[in-house]
Amino acid sequence: MPIQRYAAEEWRARSADRSDAGGTEEQREAVRVICTRVAAEGEAALREYALRFDGWAPAAGESWALERPDLDRALEGLGEDQRSALELAARRIRAFHQAETFADVRGPEGLELLVRPVRRAGLYVPGGRVPYPSTVLMTAIPARIAGVAEVLLATPPARDGTVAAPILAAAALAEVDRVYRMGGAQAVAAFAHGTEGVPRVDVVAGPGNVYVTLAKREVFGAVGVDGIAGPTEIMVVADRSAPAHYVAADLASQLEHDPMAWAVLVTDSRALADAVEEAFTDLAARLDRAEVVRAARCCIVLAGSAEEAIEVANDFGPEHLEIVAADPEPLVARVENAGAVFVGPYAPVSLGDYMIGPNHTLPTSGSARFSSPLGVYTFLKRTSVARVGAGGLRGLGEAAATLARMEGLTAHAHAIEVRSDD
């Protein structure tokens, strides 16, 4: 398959707008209706949409949720290899996220910043054709480390109401309290507003399709969200030392997710560009998901230098950035905008998706310019505390009242001055 090639400046102009997360007007309107109806009608609307889109809703007297004994049974029933892999991933994810320490902050003169977890988190894990136990670990483990009292998870069920055993087993390892058998925009709306059978949460986190993404945007304000995700992205910055077949494999690995995905090689070596294109074309024809890979967006950007290549990456702000170079560390030091960085030929994004430890739920569509990966802090909030005595009031009151009057807020000034007068 031919891969588009661009010079660095031409690429910057072509890649400036990534609005895939916005969906179509038809999709946006459908999600608005779903969220509005679930908020207003609760359980009745949730059941209607669950039957329409998931093909299942609980029978009379049956719950949406699977409880901890159900999760534990799934874990016990896993094969030894699968359980061992999940346990290793869980240990590494837990160890990395435990390093994300957040403590109360004490300022001068009785000032303090309190850091507290949300009470209840609702995690979304995609389901349907394939299970994503890795996403269970990546979302639930940070929530537990943050101290969230109740961790709930939603995932689309099969048409008989069952949930894939790997998802339930991972939920057991990550200490999820309950798994709710519901998917799509209606699941996000149920978590955001609550229904008779689904409790309202404080934060909704986790990846999903365009309908899940639009629903998170729609309910934000009624509930916190971790971010608004677009299609997955990988950018590889590489010099002539990079193994071309490694780079081609990594580009293809992310493209198999979604025909809207991005895979970009940025290099100052025309020889590497030629070799990667040849290797990628050969590989793409042999992949199980070849049609998806061929439909996605793959291109090569030729930069004048390694430094310019990093500037291209900073402008793009990729979800995943690989740096494969003879001397990578100076390039790593120049990275400003990326969801996650993978350094060297033996650190593919695929390894990070499952096992390295940092989170795989990352900012996309250029939002790495201002946002961060999902982590412990996703489930924490901060509250300031101020203690002011009579002496502090005397020192601050006159200036504060002056500022209040500058803004025309005389009642604000009075609330200060009445104390000063006393």
The residues annotated with a catalytic role in the active site are: 319-320
Show the CA angle centred on residue 284, arms to residues 283 and 290, nearest 5°.
140
Number of H helices, E strands in the chain: 17, 15
Question: Which SS3 state, helix, strand or coil, does residue 367 take?
Answer: helix
Which has the closest alpha carbon to 380: 104, 92, 90? 104
Non-local CB neighbours of 192 within 8 Å, separated by 6+ positions: 35, 39, 122, 200, 201, 204, 219, 222, 223
Q: Is 244 exposed, middle or buried (0-12, 13-18, 19+ CB in 10 A)?
A: buried
Give the whole-angstrom CA distance, residue 416 versus residue 422.
10
What is the maximum span of the chain, computed from C-alpha positions, in angstroms? 84
Phi, psi dihedral angles at 267 (to 5 degrees): -145, 155
Give the whole-angstrom CA distance, residue 421 versus residue 398.
11
Give the whole-angstrom CA distance, residue 316 versus residue 331.
16
DSSP state of 42: T
Question: Which SS3 state, helix, strand or coil, does residue 360 take?
Answer: coil
Q: What stretches of 274-365 adopt beta strand conformation (E)?
A: 297-302, 320-324, 340-343
Which has the closest alpha carbon to 203: 212, 211, 191, 213? 191
